[in-house]
A and B are shown apart, each in its own frame.
Chain A
Amino acid sequence: MSNILNFFTSLRLTVACLALALGLVFIGTLAQVKLGLYVVQDQFFNSYLIWWGPAGSNFKIPVYPGGYLIGGVLLINLIAAHIKRFELSRKKIGIFVIHAGLILLLVGQLVTQLFQVESFMTIEEGGSRNYSESGRMSELAVIDKTDPQTDLVVAIPQPILQHRKEVAAKSLPFKIKVDSFYDHSIPELAGSKLLFKQEALRTSMNARNIPAASVTIETDSGNFGPFTVSNWLSEDQLVSDIATSFESRFAPNLVAPPSFKYKGHEYQLFMRPIRYYKPFTMQLMHFAHDRYMGTEIAKNFSSRIKLLRPETGENREVLIYMNNPLRYWGETYYQGSFLPNDAGTVLQVVRNPSWLTPYIACALVGAGLVIQFMSHLIKFARKRSAGSAGFQPAVSPVSRQAAH
């Protein structure tokens, strides 16, 4: 037991973890060239082990510790070592505060990685939205349209569709069989049908993958489908791309959402970016794209938003512009992008429950360093002033001679 404790509290382990972390950042950076940022984040940093296998084979072996493992061990090491050597004394208070800051930084980063949600709210000028959408992940929305006032939505996120053959939800009276799922697809017009062909996953930072799936609705009394669902069919811009590409062969009904009736309820299926609904609505009053006079160089982007929240009676205007985000409802709304022809705004929405921890951690580390250095400085200054009381300056032979 003491060996284990010695291992976890050793300074060598700290150095090894830091060296491994350096190596991880290095290989992760190199891997981004081929795999792209998001794949590297998932496989290298948000994992315990990095796996490798020969191309075309399912066989894989771990080749390097992942970010969670290195960070986790470092955290254990830091806390354990600190507790082992903890000594409540004024002399060590600086060290204590520095370590507390470092621990908070590590924990805060872990919480950020686990719970941060990034999405985008696209609003055309004059339009309004009460939800933001994921930029990377899609969902299959099974919408019960029966109620004339509200829609009952059962949203099945992409990871479930990717990995499960059959999906059952408590609020659905049927099962959804996933016949096939493509992470990225392109549409093909085969005769009178719009088909989706699987394409290689795009890993570039800016490239988007557009999923498509074939699903069958399995009920007690038989099946509906198979239905083809894809973001190609539900997003305006993608529909517009299809229409442009297929020109006269395109017909609006090609992109109609699959629908069916079961037990007196009318259902529609949509594959769409994951939606995060809010208890408030944002209306875009004006989007401004300011340029430096006489040039096309952008000077500023800003969105004048009307924030409407019926439950609190809020109805106020907010100006969001570069480096001046709106912090509201635990989320931060940044001026992220804009629509072609300045037709609207794209706000980047970040929900990060631990957004304050880096600030607090840095303040703690800074304060700890100041305390530590100041205590040494004061000690040194005291020693020096104490020594100077009986101080006899040494006079060199040369200066003596000069004095004579």
Chain B
Amino acid sequence: MPKYFITFVFAGTLLLFAGCGRSDSDIQTYKVAKEDSSAKPPIMSAASREETRPALPRLHWELPKGWVEQPAGEMRSAAFQITGKDGQTGQVTIIPLPGAGQKELESVNMWRESLGLEALTSQQMTEQSESVDVDGVKGRLFDMAAAAPKTGEKLKTRLLGAIADRGNILWFIKMIGDDALVAEQKPVFVSFLKSLSFEDASPQMVAAAERPISTNTKKLPPGADAPKWKVPANWQEKAPGPMITALYAVTGENGAADVSISKFPGDVGGMLANVNRWRGQLGLPAVSEQELGNAAQMVEIGGKKDAYEVDIKGVNARSGKPARLVAIAVPRENETWFYKLLGDEAVVEKEKSTFQQFVAGAY
């Protein structure tokens, strides 16, 4: 009898083990050295970026006519593109530099250097500046133009730079572009500076980490339910990326293609922006509002003729290979669904009608 007892005790213990949790289901407490930035990968994490950046105010503005908002970047709180007559262009950027109170002269001279102008002394800088109102704060405006066009360019470059010191953050608002256009835009730029308003981050905002520094506070209501699509038998499901709802591979005798489905709130910049983004992915130049009718066509999906489709050929910017893209955007409720068939031309040609039916059948 004792030998059976040993058996049951042994097996019972093992089964009890099975009921126990593993170590990664317990709360762990430990000390670690603060992460050494030199040991970190070159790409800084969002968290570490924030560690070097104090809570920045929320920025509001009145968008001048003809200015197009551009993606903000690592350093830029906001950016705008301006297009003038005869293809003249200009860009406006807003850059906050926390704790950079002593860097005004250095920054102005950097602007001047970029235009091939000599550096100024502190006194000269003061003399050459104009007073400008930036959300109730007196800022300084600098207007400088290159003496001659840069090598290979026809037009001279002009720069309007405003610097406003708000607390411990120095704001640099700069317009740079073709001389005539920037000169023409100067009053607009000054009005834009006046329209800027800075909403300081409250302690609650800092704590809640809801501290955007740039926003066009557009309301984006929650999205609609997912469409019901039926996947063709020859499409193989692949692992989608985090922002991709579904991804399928289509292979043919003469290559391969991917079908990707994603959705985003709102109109994601609108039809022109989306069509130009797709064109950019195949290395094609952007089209204007007037050319949009030829670049994309409206299609009826689910009884609504608000979807649009493009069929373009070019070179895939990621792979560097020739590619064709058939893309359909379907606006629904408060979100937009994007369907893309991208890959080798022969496969895309063969799958195009299946793809179109797939999208149409989902609604």
Residues of A at the B interface (CB closer than 8 Å) are 5, 46, 48, 68, 72, 75-76, 79-80, 83-84, 107, 110-111, 113-115, 117, 123-124, 126-128, 134, 137, 148-157, 159-160, 167, 169-171, 186, 188-194, 197, 204-208, 210, 224-228, 232-239, 241-245, 247-260, 268, 270, 274, 277, 281, 283, 344
Q: A253 contacts B211, CB within 8 Å?
A: yes
- Residues in chain A near residue B58, CB distance under 8 A: 192
Q: Does B15 belong to the interface (CB within 8 Å)?
A: yes
Does B233 belong to the interface (CB within 8 Å)? no
* Inter-subunit contact A151/B238 (CB<8 Å): no
Q: Please give me the 10 A-B residue pairs with the lowest Cβ-Cβ distance, nearest first.
A: A206-B239, A124-B41, A127-B41, A253-B211, A251-B212, A76-B11, A256-B50, A239-B46, A255-B46, A192-B215
B243 touches A258 (CB 8 A): no
**Does A124 lie within 8 Å of B47, measured CB to CB?**
no
Note all chain A residues with C-beta closer than 8 A to B220.
188-191
Report B-chain residues with C-beta under 8 Å of the C-beta of A148. Answer: 34
Report the Cα distance A249→B266, complex, angstroms.
Answer: 12
B66 within 8 Å of A (CB atoms):
no
Given known pairs A251-B212, A270-B47, the reply for A128 and B27 (CB within 8 Å) is: no
Stretch at the interface among B110-118, B119-127, B201-209: B201-209
Neighbouring A residues of B31 by C-beta, 8 Å: 150-153
- Determine whether the beta carbon of B238 is less than 8 Å from that of A153: no
- Considering the chains assembled together, what is the distance between the CA atoms of A247 and B304 in angstroms? 27
Interface stretch of the complex, out of B17-25, B182-190, B283-291, B340-348: B17-25
Chain B positions within 8 Å of A150 at CB level: 31-34
**Contacts known (A83-B3, A124-B43, A191-B217); A207 close to B239, Cβ less than 8 A:** yes
CB of A186, distance to nearest CB on chain B (Å): 7
Residues of A contacting B71 in the complex (Cβ-Cβ under 8 angstroms): 243, 247-248, 250
Q: Do A190 and B8 form a contact, CB below 8 Å, given A228-B209, A234-B45?
A: no
List the count of A-B residue pairs having beta carbons below 8 Å apart: 226
Does the CB pair B239–A72 fall under 8 Å? no
State the CA gap A256–B205 with chains docked (Å).
11
Q: Given the complex of chains A and B, what is the CA–CA distance between A61 and B18 in angstroms?
A: 21
B239 partner residues in chain A, CB cutoff 8 A: 204-207
B201 CB to closest chain A CB, in angstroms? Answer: 8
Q: Once bound together, how far apart are the Cα atoms of A237 and B46, in whole Å? A: 10
Inter-chain contact A253/B209, CB cutoff 8 Å: yes
CA distance A193 to B30 in the complex (A): 33
Known contacts A190-B220, A227-B208, A253-B213: A72-B32 contact under CB 8 Å: no
The segment from B72-80, B159-167, B349-357 found at the interface with A is B72-80
- How many residues does chain B have at the interface if contact means C-beta atoms less than 8 Å apart? 79
User: Does chain A have a CB within 8 A of B253?
Assistant: no
Query: Does chain A have a CB within 8 A of B237?
Result: yes
Residues on B with C-beta less than 8 A from A134 are: 24
Q: With a CB–CB cut-off of 8 A, which chain A residues contact B53?
A: 252-253
**B217-245 interface bits toward A, Cβ cutoff 8 Å, 1 = contact, 0 = none:** 11111110000000000000111111100
A249 near B215 with CB under 8 A, answer: yes
Q: How far is the CA of A236 from the CA of B318 in the complex (A)?
A: 20
> Complex formed: what's the CA distance from A149 to B34 in Å?
6
Residues of A within 8 A of B26 (CB): 157
Bound together, the chains give a CA A233 to CA B26 distance in angstroms of 23
Residue contact A256 to B20, C-beta cutoff 8 Å: no
> Could you tell me if B30 and A277 are in contact, using CB atoms closer than 8 angstroms?
yes
Q: Indicate if the CB atoms of B74 and A252 lie closer than 8 Å.
A: yes
User: CB-nearest residue of chain B relative to A244?
Assistant: B243
Q: A274 contacts which chain B residues (CB < 8 A)?
A: 24
Tell me, rounded to whole Å, the shortest Cβ–Cβ distance linking A41 to chain B: 13
Contact with A along B239-260 (1 / 0, CB 8 A): 1111100000000000000000
B148 touches A (CB below 8 Å)? no
- Indicate if the CB atoms of A155 and B27 lie closer than 8 Å: yes
A253 to B210, CA, bound (A): 7
Chain A residues lying within 8 Å of B210, measured Cβ to Cβ, are 192-194, 254
- Give the nearest-CB partner of B49 in chain A: A252
Q: CA–CA, A154 to B27, complex, Å?
A: 7
Other than the given A154-B28, A253-B50, 7 more pairs (CB < 8 A) read: A117-B23, A153-B28, A189-B220, A190-B221, A208-B242, A224-B207, A247-B269
User: In whole angstroms, what is the CA distance A166 to B280 when docked?
Assistant: 49
C-alpha gap A314/B41 in the complex (Å)? 22
- A253-B24 in contact (CB<8A): no
Considering the chains assembled together, what is the distance between the CA atoms of A236 and B218 in angstroms? 26
Instruction: Given A114-B17, A256-B50, check contact A225 B208 (CB 8 Å).
Output: yes
**Complex-state Cα separation, A127 to B44, whole angstroms:** 11
A190 CA to B8 CA, complexed, in Å? 60
Q: A127-B42, A206-B238, A249-B216 are in contact. Are A259 and B209 (CB under 8 A)?
A: yes
- A127 lies within 8 A of B32 (CB): no
Bound Cα distance from A251 to B90, whole angstroms: 22
A sample of 17 inter-chain contacts (CB < 8 A) reads: A72-B14, A80-B4, A114-B18, A124-B43, A153-B31, A155-B30, A160-B27, A227-B208, A227-B209, A234-B46, A248-B69, A250-B71, A251-B77, A252-B50, A257-B50, A259-B209, A344-B41
A197 to B15, Cβ gap below 8 A? no
Residues in chain A near residue B70, CB distance under 8 A? 248
Q: Does B56 reach chain A (CB closer than 8 Å)? A: yes
Which residues of the other chain, B, contact A186 by a CB distance below 8 angstroms? 243
Say yes or no: A241 contacts B223, CB within 8 Å.
Answer: no
Assembled-state Cα–Cα distance A90/B136 (Å) = 100
Q: Does the CB pair A75–B14 fall under 8 Å? A: yes
Query: Is B243 within 8 A of A251, CB to CB?
Result: no
B10 CB-CB contact with A under 8 Å = yes
B314 contacts the other chain (CB 8 A): no
Q: In the complex, A193→B211 CA distance in Å?
A: 8
In the bound complex, do residue A227 and residue B207 qualify as a contact, i.e. CB atoms below 8 Å apart? yes
Chain B residue with minimal CB distance to A110?
B14
Indicate if the CB atoms of A188 and B265 lie closer than 8 Å: yes
Q: Is there an interface contact between B215 and A191, defined as CB atoms closer than 8 Å?
A: yes
In the complex, the answer to whether B29 meets A253 with C-beta atoms within 8 Å is no
Q: Give Cα distance in the complex from A192 to B57, angstroms.
A: 12
Q: Which residues of A contact B74 (CB under 8 A)?
A: 252
Contacts A79-B10, A204-B237, A224-B207: A156 and B27 contacting too (C-beta < 8 A)?
yes
